[in-house]
Amino acid sequence: MPTVEADPGPFSFAPESTALLVIDMQRDFLLPGGFGESLGNDVAQLRCTIEPLTALLAAGRAAGLKIIHTREGHLPDLSDCPPAKLRRGPMIGKEGRFGRILIRGEYGHDIIDELRPEAGEPVVDKPGKGAFYATDLSKILDNDGIKSLIVTGVTTEVCVHTTVREANDRGYECLVIKDCVGSYFPEFQRVGLRMIAAQGGIFGWVADSPAVIAALQE
């Protein structure tokens, strides 16, 4: 069984019951001139994940891992967006440089070209931060007998963390890949990763992508 050196200890996984989860690598968050940058964020903090994640995806596909992508966003009429979320995110649904912000079907809502999903890879549209809330993710994982998740994407302290916490409570073992998750805030990146592996791995494990790629190629 492949084993990866990780924090707080070795992480072993069976490829046939492991999924590689790619969370919200969307243009709205990652493109220069897009929604994320319009809020004053430095998108370079997220874009540095693209290259390692491209390599990890290639290794995961070659090893036969199930690949699942997610996108955060809402229906055009915003009927699935809680008013409480809209009050604190008034830009949602407004016209931005890449179409209506975080609205399904808009250019900005879709996944960046570099990480385009391949045919047959599920793309889970989620209205919340967690990938389990109001989605079919549990069903998709159950149907394939998935027990372990290799987690990547953005942002570390928001959608990645929420999803890992949801997954952990549902009994999945989560390995978060530190160079393949990104935050606009270096402090949140550092602390977010520490929180995953703290207390003996309270939410899961943390490793870097070269270690996972090496394990997948053994």
Give the catalytic positions in this structure.
24, 126, 159
> What is the C-alpha separation between 122 and 124, in angstroms, rounded?
6
Q: Which of residues 158-177 bind ligand C5J (CB under 6 A)?
A: 158-159
Q: Which is nearer to ligand C5J, 85 or 147 (CB)?
A: 85
Binding mask 70-109 for ligand C5J (x = CB under 6 A): --x-------------------------------------
Q: Which is nearer to ligand C5J, 7 or 24 (CB)?
A: 24
Other beta carbons within 10 angstroms of residue 129's beta carbon come to 19
- From the CB of 184, what's the least distance to ligand C5J, in Å? 8
118: nearest Cα among 180, 58, 175: 58
- From the CB of 159, what's the least distance to ligand C5J, in Å? 3
154 belongs to the binding site for ligand C5J (CB under 6 A): yes
- From the CB of 217, what's the least distance to ligand C5J, in Å? 30
Structure tokens at 74: 């809402």
Q: Which is nearer to ligand C5J, 131 or 207 (CB)?
A: 131
CA dihedral of 49, 108, 89, 85, whole degrees rounded to 10: -90
Residues found near ligand C5J in the complex (CB under 6 A) = 24, 72, 154-155, 158-159
